[in-house]
Amino acid sequence: MSLVHATLFLHNWLALGIAGVTAIYTWLTRRDDQSASRFTGIEARMEHVETRLTSIETRVEDLPGRADYHQLSLQIGDIAGQIAVLAERIKPLAATIDRVQDYLTAQTPVRRIARAKE
C-alpha cells in the first residue's frame, strides 16, 4: 500500500471514528435531556404532593386529640347532670302553671256568659 492509500485509509477511519463518537455523544446528551425533562416533571409533582402533605399535616395538628375528647365528654356529663337537677326543680312550677291554666280555663266560659248578659 502506498503512502497515499494509507493516509486515505486512516483519514476514512478517523472520519468514521469521529462520526461514531459524535453519534454516541448526541445519543447520550439527548438521553440526558429526556431524563432531565422527566425529572423536571417528577420534581413538579413532588412539590405538589409536598404542598398537599403540608396542608394535611397542618389540618391534623389543629384537630382535637384524645385528651380533648375526654375533657369534652366530662363536660357534657356535667351539663347533663345540671339539666336533670333543673328538670326536677321545674316540675313543681309546671304543676302550678297547669293548675292556674285549669282554673282560668274553667273560669273563661263564666266570664263570657256574664259579659253577654250585660
Q: Are 10 and 1 in contact (CB under 8 A)?
A: no
CA distances from 68 to 56, 59, 63, 65, 71 (A): 20, 16, 9, 5, 5
Grid coordinates given for 50: 409536598
User: What is d(CA 47, CA 53) in angstroms, rounded to the nearest whole number?
Assistant: 10
Q: What is the pLDDT of residue 88?
A: 93
Grid coordinates given for 102: 285549669
One pLDDT digit (tens) per residue for the chain, 118 residues:
576 677 877 788 888 888 888 888 887 777 766 666 777 778 888 998 999 999 999 888 888 889 999 999 999 999 999 999 999 999 999 999 999 998 888 876 655 555 555 5
Phi/psi at 64 (5° precision)? -70, 150
